[in-house]
Structure formats: C-alpha cells, structure tokens
Amino acid sequence: MDTIPRTLLHGSHDRSIDRLNPVHGDEHAPFGPALYLTEDPDVANCYVRGTGAIYAIELTGNGQLTIPMNAAWRELSVDARLAIKKLFKAADLPMPSGVSNAREILDSVRPAMDKRQRNEFLATEGIWMLFGHIDAMEDSGLCDRAIQYALLSSSAIASQLQWKNPRHAT
C-alpha cells in the first residue's frame, strides 16, 4: 500500500463491535456508504459519543486497488481505471468527459446508481478503499478534518482492536 497507512482508527458509539462492517454505512456520507477511518485520534474520538470506543484497524490490501478521490484520471492505477470503466458499462452510461478528478467521475454515475450501489460494485471489482479530502461544504470542522478513508470491503481488515490511549480513554 503506497499511500494508505497500515493502521487507521475508527470511532464508534458501540463499545462491543466484534467485526466492523463497511456495508452498513450512511448513503449520505461524503464518499457514500463505507467504514470511515482516520489517522487522527481526535477525529475518531468525535464519533465515540461518550460511551463508545476507538478501534485500531490494521489494513492489508493492494494499493493499486484503491481510488484516491482527489486524483486526476491519469493518476489512477490501471486497476482503478478498469474498475471505473466497468462501473460505467454496468450502469449503461458513457464515461464522463471534462471532469477533473476521480470523485467527480464516480459521482457522475449517480443517475443510474446511488452511492451504495456504486460502492458495492467497486468492491466486487476489488476496490477496497476510497480516500481523499472532502469538500469545504461537507466539512463539519474537527470531526471531518484531514483525509477521509472510506473502507469498502471488510476483506481488507487484517485485525481490529480497541485502541488504548490514556488521553482518549472513556
């Protein structure tokens, strides 16, 4: 994995999660339904909501099977471009022209597929992570700063443990 840290954090209001599941994410989340991860303990702590926990998620996965959402088409891996082309073919839509980054390209499949369908399709094509900075209008401050890592497939989770850090203990 070239650009994604091996271990990321997930804050949850649930203290007793046995296995985190990306499928149940919110359709209205910036990159669609996914398990959102962060490098920043303060961001993860926003989602603990007092009684929950922060989980350290160790990831394993091929960096070529990720999509950096702020990257231009030509900067995407061959595997990512192929998965996106298959997505548009499955949606029976032409590939968009004149768009500047991967997120705009993926969002343009919206007339035929919602974000959940899009992410599920990408996961079946082997794409396990979408990541990047969100737009300023989506940013709620402390809880959304930095890079958003949206995990699409639980198969990329090597391990998950409650994160122990005295500064963030609940």
Tokens 């500047």 locate to 100
Mean pLDDT along residues 8-23: 83
How does pLDDT run across 39-89, given as a tens digit for each residue? 989 888 888 877 889 999 999 989 999 999 999 999 999 999 999 999 999
Q: Using CA atoms, how far apart are residues 92 and 130, in angstroms rounded to an integer?
A: 22
Mean pLDDT along residues 141-146: 67
Decide: residue 153, CB within 10 A, 0-12 exposed, 13-18 middle, 19+ buried.
buried
pLDDT confidence of residue 170: 44
Side chain identity, residue 102: A
Nearest to 59 by CA among 12, 11, 164, 129: 129
Query: How long, in residues, is the chain?
Result: 170
Q: Using CA atoms, how far apart are residues 47 and 114, in angstroms rounded to an integer?
A: 25
8 Å CB contact between 62 and 161: no
pLDDT band at 169 (very low <50, low <70, confident <90, very high): very low
DSSP secondary-structure letter at 142? Answer: G
pLDDT confidence of residue 5: 83
Q: Using CA atoms, how far apart are residues 128 and 136, in angstroms rounded to an integer?
A: 25
pTM: 0.88
**Would you list the domain boundaries of the chain?**
7-63+129-168, 71-124
Q: Using CA atoms, how far apart are residues 55 and 38, in angstroms rounded to an integer?
A: 10
